[in-house]
Structure 1
Amino acid sequence: MRQVSAVVTCGDTFHGRFGPVEMPSPWWNDVAPVVTWLSGLLGVPVVVLRLLDVDGGALMRDGHVTYHAEALEQPAGLPANVPIHLGDEEPLRASWATREGLRAALDWALAITGPSEIRQVKTWNLAGLFHLPGGNAWLKTTPPFAAPEASIIAALAEVDPTLVPKVLAADPARGRMLLEHIPGEDCWKAGPDLVPETVRRFARAQQRLSLGLQGIDDRPAPHEAIGEERGLPPGLIDRRSVLAATRRLPRIPGSDELLAEVPALEEELAACGIPYTLVHGDFHPGNWRAVPGGAAVVLDFADAHVGHPAADGLRLREWTGDAEAWVEAWSLPGADPRRALEVAAPLAALGQAVRYQEFLDGIEPSERRYHAGDPEDALGEAVKALRRLRRA
Structure 2
Amino acid sequence: MTAAVPHTELTDPRWRDAALNWVTEALAPTGRRVAGPVEPRVRPWSLVWRVPTDAGDVWFKANTPGTRYEAALLAALARLHPGRVLDPIAVDAARGWSLLPDGGATLREATGGDADLGRWERVLSEYAELQRTTTAHVEELLALGVPDHRPEALPALFAELLDDRPALLLGTPDGLTVEAYDRLRALLPTYADRCRWLAESGILPSIQHDDLHDGNVFVAATGHRFFDWGDASVAHPFGTLLVTLRSVAHVTGRDATDPALDRLRDAYLEPWTDGRDRAALRQLAEVAAWVTMVSRSLSWRRALTTSNPARAEYAAAVPGWLEELLDIEPS
Indicate the residue corresponding to 2:310 in structure 1.
367
For the structure 1 residues 121 and 290, does the alpha-carbon distance in structure 2 shift closer, same or farther, using more than 3 Å as the test?
farther
Residues 164, 298 of structure 1: 8 Å contact kept: yes
Give the Å deviation of 1:156.
2.8
Residues 71, 97 of structure 2: 8 Å contact kept: no
- In the comparison of the two structures, how many residue pairs are matched? 282
Indicate the residue corresponding to 2:46 in structure 1.
127
Bigger shift: 299-308 or 321-330? 321-330
Residues 277, 306 of structure 1: 8 Å contact kept: yes
Distance 1:372 1:235 in 2: 23
TM value normalised by structure 1:
0.65
Give the Å deviation of 1:265.
0.8
Q: Tell me which of 55, 65, 88 is aligned to 1:167.
A: 88
Residues 237, 305 of structure 1: 8 Å contact kept: yes
Residue 349 in structure 1 maps to residue 293 in structure 2: yes
For the structure 1 residues 121 and 289, does the alpha-carbon distance in structure 2 shift closer, same or farther, using more than 3 Å as the test?
farther
1:344-377 CA distance string (max 9 Å, x none): 23311111112222233x1116232222211111
TM value normalised by structure 2:
0.76
Residues 200, 329 of structure 1: 8 Å contact kept: yes
Indicate the residue corresponding to 1:243 in structure 2.
155
Residue 210 in structure 1 maps to residue 139 in structure 2: no
Q: Which runs of 5+ in 2 are unaligned?
A: 28-32, 171-175, 250-260
Map 1:142-291 to 2 at 5 A.
142-146=63-67, 148-187=69-108, 189=111, 192-211=117-136, 226=139, 228=140, 234-240=144-150, 241-245=153-157, 246=161, 247-248=163-164, 250=168, 252=176, 253=180, 254-291=183-220
AA aligned opposite 1:375: V
SS in 2 for 1:282: coil
Give the Å deviation of 1:318.
1.0
1:257-284 CA distance string (max 9 Å, x none): 2223222011222344321111112111
Distance 2:76 2:69 in 1: 11
Q: Which runs of 5+ in 1 are unaligned?
A: 1-89, 214-225
Map 1:130-141 to 2 at 5 A.
130-134=49-53, 136=56, 137-141=58-62
Indicate the residue corresponding to 2:14 in structure 1.
100
Residues 152, 233 of structure 1: 8 Å contact kept: no
List structure 1 runs of 4+ shifted beyond 4 angstroms: none
Residues 34, 52 of structure 2: 8 Å contact kept: no
Indicate the residue corresponding to 1:297 in structure 2.
225
Indicate the residue corresponding to 2:321 in structure 1.
378
Distance 1:318 1:185 in 2: 18
Distance 2:5 2:318 in 1: 23
Higher Rg of the two aligned structures: 1
Q: Tell me which of 99, 112, 118 is aligned to 2:37.
A: 118
Distance 2:19 2:295 in 1: 31
Residue 311 in structure 1 maps to residue 239 in structure 2: yes
For the structure 1 residues 96 and 186, does the alpha-carbon distance in structure 2 shift closer, same or farther, using more than 3 Å as the test?
farther
Residues 196, 325 of structure 1: 8 Å contact kept: yes
Residues 68, 93 of structure 2: 8 Å contact kept: no
AA aligned opposite 2:24: L
For the structure 1 residues 353 and 104, does the alpha-carbon distance in structure 2 shift closer, same or farther, using more than 3 Å as the test?
same
Distance 2:228 2:20 in 1: 20
For the structure 1 residues 145 and 199, does the alpha-carbon distance in structure 2 shift closer, same or farther, using more than 3 Å as the test?
same
